[in-house]
């Protein structure tokens, strides 16, 4: 009798789930996409334990330090889930610098010591050394930013930044992945004129931004196409864009150049075969988007970052194969002899000496 009742309950649950999926509209309008086969983890991608050697800053005192920046005094800044930008002092203590009331993401200091910040909700911000916040820009060509994401600053003060998606806000970034439509933009803001320009439209989740050593081009990650695009600022190709590197071994998030010919790319998770399978089946993606997030496939707990040269070649990779020390890395910030690692959902910041 108990087995019969259990079977009946299971049938009712399946029927209820089927009815729910049938009558509930999907929050996405997905397209099919055929991803190339993931590159083998060999050569410069060979797994290693390098990230396990990183020093851990503010462990247990921060939540989701997505990106970092280091000021002239060597203090480390990070933006957290709760809207705060915190500062880690030389003795390791954590203090609140400002609270943006949004979700601080990409950040860098300008030549005047102001912290320039991409806030997912608030737009492009400037925060002076005393903590006063100025909103620089919130829209371009009449389209408000939905998801201000990452930035880099030129030697002339021009800020290059991204609006990752004009359709989905930060909590729904995975819906952008499932929809597989190009909602992102690469933009520039000139503090001298106050002008905001759209440089490239129709990017597939426009994420990390980095200028080349000579500032003749700027890179932008297209996270959900496993690739990095290049927009030419100087030379015969100025004003055009192309693909810098394609078919990366993971989802590229933030991107940072050391202005000496190396770009560091954070990969929150390696490629997953089930994600590439889903992309071939829009109907399945539409149904998945209706389900509670707890039922979605989970990211692999893994620490992963790669270095590229200016020819678009992978020259080095850093790993934590266990995902226990550093995982879901969303930013790699080269400062002096060190790399600083941010994470969207971890409780620490990594600091690793570059060898």
Q: For residue range 180-233, what is the model confidence (pLDDT) as tens digits?
A: 999 999 999 999 999 999 999 999 999 999 999 999 999 999 999 999 999 999
Q: Using alpha carbons, list the distances in angstroms from residue 85 to 1, 149, 186, 275, 354.
A: 59, 15, 24, 33, 26
Query: What's the pLDDT at 19?
Result: 45
Residues 6+ apart with CB under 8 A from 195: 189
17 burial via Cβ count (<10 Å: 0-12, 13-18, 19+): exposed
The closest of 67, 352, 62, 350 to 208, measured between CA atoms, is: 67
pLDDT at 8 over 80: no
Q: Would residue 218 be called left, alpha or beta, if left means φ above 0 and alpha means ψ between -120 and 50 degrees?
A: beta
Report the chain's terminal Cα–Cα distance, integer Å. Answer: 67
Q: Using alpha carbons, list the distances in angstroms from residue 321 to 47, 274, 347.
A: 7, 19, 18
Query: What's the pLDDT at 326?
Result: 97
Average pLDDT, the chain: 93
Q: How far apart are CA 335 and CA 332, in angstroms?
A: 10
* Helix runs in the chain, H state only: 2-23, 173-179, 273-279, 282-288
pLDDT at 169 over 80: yes
The token duo for 39 is 């590159």
Q: Average of pLDDT values for 78-87?
A: 98
pLDDT at 308 over 90: yes
| Residue-wise pLDDT tens digits, 171-182 | 999 999 999 999
| Residue-wise pLDDT tens digits, 108-137 | 999 999 999 999 999 999 999 999 999 999
pLDDT at 14 over 90: no
208 burial via Cβ count (<10 Å: 0-12, 13-18, 19+): buried
With residues binned 3-state (H G I as helix, E B as strand, rest as coil), the percentages for the chain, rounded to 5, are 15, 40, 45
The closest of 156, 155, 179 to 164, measured between CA atoms, is: 179
- The CATH topology of domain 33-353 is Neuraminidase (2.120.10)
Q: How far apart are CA 246 and CA 144, in angstroms?
A: 29
Higher pLDDT, 206 or 275: 206
Residues 6+ apart with CB under 8 A from 301: 322, 323, 324, 327, 328
C-beta separation of 119 from 136 below 8 A: no
For 70-106, b where at least 16 C-beta lie within 10 A, e where not — what string? beeeeebbbbbeebbbbbbeeeeebeebbebebbbbb
């Amino acid at each position: 009798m108990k087995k019969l009742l259990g079977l009946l309950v299971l049938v009712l649950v399946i029927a209820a789930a089927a009815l729910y999926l049938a009558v509930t509209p999907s929050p996405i309008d997905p397209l099919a996409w055929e991803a190339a086969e993931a590159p083998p983890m060999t050569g410069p991608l060979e797994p290693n334990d390098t990230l396990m050697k990183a020093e851990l800053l503010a462990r247990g005192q921060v939540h989701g330090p997505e990106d970092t920046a280091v000021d002239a005094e060597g203090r480390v800044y990070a933006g957290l889930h709760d809207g705060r930008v915190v500062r880690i002092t030389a003795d390791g203590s954590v203090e609140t610098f400002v609270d943006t009331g949004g979700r601080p993401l990409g950040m860098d200091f300008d030549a005047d010591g102001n912290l320039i910040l991409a806030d997912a909700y608030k737009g492009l911000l400037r925060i002076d050394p005393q903590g006063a916040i100025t909103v620089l820009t919130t829209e371009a060509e009449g389209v408000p930013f939905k998801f201000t994401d990452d930035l880099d600053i030129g030697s002339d003060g021009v800020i290059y930044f991204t609006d990752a998606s004009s359709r989905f806000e930060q909590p729904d970034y995975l819906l952008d992945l499932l929809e597989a439509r190009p909602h992102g933009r690469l933009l520039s803001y000139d503090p001298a004129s106050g002008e905001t320009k759209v440089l490239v439209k129709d990017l597939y989740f426009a994420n990390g931004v980095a200028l080349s050593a000579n500032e003749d081009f700027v890179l932008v990650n297209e996270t959900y196409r496993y690739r990095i695009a290049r927009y030419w600022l100087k030379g015969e190709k100025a004003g055009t864009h192309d693909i810098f590197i394609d078919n990366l071994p993971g989802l590229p998030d933030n991107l940072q150049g050391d202005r000496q010919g190396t770009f560091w790319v954070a990969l929150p998770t390696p490629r997953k075969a089930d994600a590439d399978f889903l992309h071939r089946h829009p109907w399945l993606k539409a149904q998945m988007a209706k389900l509670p997030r707890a039922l979605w496939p989970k990211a692999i707990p893994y620490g992963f970052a790669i270095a590229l040269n200016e020819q678009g070649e992978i020259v080095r990779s850093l790993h934590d194969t266990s995902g226990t020390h550093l995982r879901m890395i969303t930013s790699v910030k080269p400062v002096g002899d060190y790399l600083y690692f941010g994470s969207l959902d971890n409780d620490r910041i990594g600091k690793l000496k570059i060898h």
